[in-house]
Structure 1
Amino acid sequence: MEYELLLVSLLVLFFGLTTTSGCIVERENSCTCDPTMRQVSCTRLGDSVDDVLPHLIPDETWQLVMKRVWVDDAVELRPHNFVTLKQLRWLDFSYNRISVIHPETFSDMRSLYFVNLSHNRLRLLESNAFNGNLPDLLSLDLSYNRLLLLTERNFKAVKNLKFLDLRNNPILFISGEAFWGLSQLERLKLSSANFTKFPAEPLSSLLNLRMLEMRDMPFIKSIPDHAFSFNSRLESLVLEKLPLSVGGLSVDVFYGLESLRHMTIASCNLTSVPCTSLSNVKHSLESLDLSRNSIQIIYPDDLSGLSDLKNLTLHDTHLQEIKPGSFIKLEKLEALDLSNNRLRTLYQDSFPENLTKLQEIRLTNNVWSCDCSLKWLTESHISLGHDHVTCTDPRSERGKSLKEMRKKLPDTFYKCKSPIITTKEYSEERYVEGDQALLYCDGSGEPLSFSWYFAGTVIPVRGSDLRKNGKELTIRNVQLNDAGEYTCIIRNAGGQKSITVLLHVDAAKHGDMSSNLPPGRGNDGSVKDSGKDCSTGTQNIRREFSRKPGFSSENSFDKTNIATTAILITILGCVTTLGVAGVFLFVGCVWSKRRDAAGQNSRNTQNSAPSVNVNGHCKHEQSKNASKKTMKSIELTDERVVFGGHGIYSKPIQDLDCPKIDRQSNINRKK
Structure 2
Amino acid sequence: MKTALILFLVTISLGLICGDDKKDNEVGENVICKKCNCDVKMKIIECSNKKLTKMFTVDEWAALNATKDDYEILKLDHNLLEDIDVPFPVLRFPLKVIDLRHNKIKKIISKVFYNLSSIEEVDLSFNLMTADNLRPDVFEGKYSPDEYEPLLTLKRLRLSYNLLTNLDSEIFEHTKHLQELSLANNPFQIIHTSVLSAFTDTPQLQMLDMSRMELSSLPLDTFHPLKALKVLNLDGNLFKTFPEALKLATNLRELSLNENPIGDLSAENSIPELAKLEKLNMTYMGSLKVIGKGGLSGLENLKEIRLSHNHHLSYIHPSAFTFPEKDNPEREQFPLVEKVFFEYNNLSSLDSHVLLWNNVKEIHLHDNPWLCDCDLQWFSDILMKTVKETTPHLIDHIKCAAPKKLVGLKLADLNTKHTELRCLDKFGANPELDSALLVALLIGVLLGMPLAYASIMIYRRGCGSRRGPADFSRAFYKRADMNDDIHI
Q: What's the TM-score bracket when you normalise by the shorter of the two chains?
A: 0.5 to 0.7
Contact persistence 1:240–1:268 (CA under 8 A): yes
Following superposition, the deviation at residue 316 of structure 1 comes to 2.1
| 1:70 aligned onto 2:35 | no
Following superposition, the deviation at residue 363 of structure 1 comes to 1.7
**2-side partners of 1:292 and 1:250: how far apart?**
18
Contact persistence 2:36–2:47 (CA under 8 A): no
Please name the residue that 2:437 is paired with.
Answer: none
**Equivalent residues in 2 for 1:179-218, closer than 5 Å:** 179-198=172-191, 199-218=195-214
Letter in 1 for 2:338: E
| 1:404 aligned onto 2:396 | no
Higher percent of residues as strand: 1
> Kindly tell me: are residues 393 and 23 of structure 1, through their superposed partners in 2, closer, same or farther at Cα, counting changes over 3 Å?
farther
Contact persistence 1:370–1:394 (CA under 8 A): yes
Please name the residue that 1:344 is paired with.
Answer: 348
Please name the residue that 2:402 is paired with.
Answer: 393
**2-side partners of 1:408 and 1:223: how far apart?**
54
Q: Deviations along 1:578-603, whole A, 9 cap, x unmatched? A: xxxxxxxxxxxxxxxxxxxxxxxxxx
**2-side partners of 1:97 and 1:148: how far apart?**
18
Please name the residue that 1:133 is paired with.
Answer: 115
Q: What secondary structure is seen at the aligned counterpart in 2 of 1:383? A: helix
Please name the residue that 1:101 is paired with.
Answer: 84
**2-side partners of 1:206 and 1:267: how far apart?**
28
Flag structure 1 segments of 5+ consecutive residues without an equivalent.
Answer: 1-17, 40-62, 418-443, 447-671
Following superposition, the deviation at residue 80 of structure 1 comes to 4.8
Q: What secondary structure is seen at the aligned counterpart in 2 of 1:254? A: helix
Q: What secondary structure is seen at the aligned counterpart in 2 of 1:75? A: coil
Following superposition, the deviation at residue 274 of structure 1 comes to 8.4
Following superposition, the deviation at residue 35 of structure 1 comes to 5.3
Contact persistence 2:171–2:198 (CA under 8 A): yes
**1-side partners of 2:176 and 2:407: how far apart?**
59
> Kindly tell me: are residues 75 and 406 of structure 1, through their superposed partners in 2, closer, same or farther at Cα, counting changes over 3 Å?
same
TM-score between both structures, scaled by the size of structure 2: 0.68
Contact persistence 1:236–1:262 (CA under 8 A): yes
> Kindly tell me: are residues 23 and 416 of structure 1, through their superposed partners in 2, closer, same or farther at Cα, counting changes over 3 Å?
farther
Q: What secondary structure is seen at the aligned counterpart in 1 of 2:305? A: strand
Q: What secondary structure is seen at the aligned counterpart in 1 of 2:409? A: coil
Contact persistence 1:183–1:206 (CA under 8 A): yes
Which of residues 314, 317, 327 in structure 2 aligns to 1:323? 317
Which of residues 235, 238, 244 in structure 2 aligns to 1:240? 235
Q: What secondary structure is seen at the aligned counterpart in 1 of 2:319? A: coil
Which of residues 322, 333, 353 in structure 1 aligns to 2:337? 333
Please name the residue that 1:367 is paired with.
Answer: 369
Please name the residue that 1:285 is paired with.
Answer: 277
Q: What secondary structure is seen at the aligned counterpart in 1 of 2:358? A: coil
Contact persistence 2:37–2:45 (CA under 8 A): no
**2-side partners of 1:394 and 1:115: how far apart?**
59
Please name the residue that 1:169 is paired with.
Answer: 162
> Kindly tell me: are residues 299 and 35 of structure 1, through their superposed partners in 2, closer, same or farther at Cα, counting changes over 3 Å?
closer
Flag structure 2 segments of 5+ consecutive residues without an equivalent.
Answer: 1-23, 142-150, 323-332, 429-488
Contact persistence 1:115–1:141 (CA under 8 A): yes
Letter in 1 for 2:227: S
**2-side partners of 1:296 and 1:34: how far apart?**
53
Letter in 1 for 2:316: I
Higher percent of residues as helix: 2
| 1:261 aligned onto 2:270 | no
Please name the residue that 1:414 is paired with.
Answer: 422
Q: What secondary structure is seen at the aligned counterpart in 1 of 2:122? A: strand
Which of residues 209, 226, 230 in structure 2 aligns to 1:231? 226
Q: Deviations along 1:447-470, whole A, 9 cap, x unmatched? A: xxxxxxxxxxxxxxxxxxxxxxxx
Q: What secondary structure is seen at the aligned counterpart in 1 of 2:416? A: helix
Letter in 2 for 1:138: E
TM-score between both structures, scaled by the size of structure 1: 0.50
Following superposition, the deviation at residue 79 of structure 1 comes to 4.4
**2-side partners of 1:284 and 1:118: how far apart?**
34
Letter in 1 for 2:45: L
**Equivalent residues in 2 for 1:533-548, closer than 5 Å:** none
> Kindly tell me: are residues 35 and 116 of structure 1, through their superposed partners in 2, closer, same or farther at Cα, counting changes over 3 Å?
closer
Which of residues 123, 139, 156 in structure 1 aligns to 2:140? 156
Letter in 1 for 2:47: M
Following superposition, the deviation at residue 270 of structure 1 comes to 0.8
Letter in 2 for 1:209: L
Letter in 1 for 2:238: P
**1-side partners of 2:407 and 2:348: how far apart?**
13
Please name the residue that 2:217 is paired with.
Answer: 222
Contact persistence 1:78–1:102 (CA under 8 A): no
Letter in 2 for 1:228: F
> Kindly tell me: are residues 133 and 324 of structure 1, through their superposed partners in 2, closer, same or farther at Cα, counting changes over 3 Å?
same
Q: Deviations along 1:361-405, whole A, 9 cap, x unmatched? A: 322222111111211121113227412111110111111122112
Please name the residue that 1:527 is paired with.
Answer: none
Following superposition, the deviation at residue 284 of structure 1 comes to 0.4
Identity, % of aligned pairs?
A: 24
**RMSD value over aligned CA atoms?**
3.1
> Kindly tell me: are residues 32 and 122 of structure 1, through their superposed partners in 2, closer, same or farther at Cα, counting changes over 3 Å?
closer
> Kindly tell me: are residues 445 and 22 of structure 1, through their superposed partners in 2, closer, same or farther at Cα, counting changes over 3 Å?
farther
Q: Deviations along 1:505-537, whole A, 9 cap, x unmatched? A: xxxxxxxxxxxxxxxxxxxxxxxxxxxxxxxxx
Contact persistence 1:123–1:145 (CA under 8 A): yes
Please name the residue that 1:145 is paired with.
Answer: 127
Please name the residue that 2:290 is paired with.
Answer: 297
Aligned residues between the structures: 366
Letter in 2 for 1:382: T
**Equivalent residues in 2 for 1:228-627, closer than 5 Å:** 228-244=223-239, 246-247=240-241, 249-251=242-244, 253-273=245-265, 278-281=271-274, 283-293=275-285, 294-317=287-310, 318-328=312-322, 329-352=333-356, 355-380=357-382, 381-383=385-387, 385=391, 386=394, 387-411=396-420, 413-415=421-423
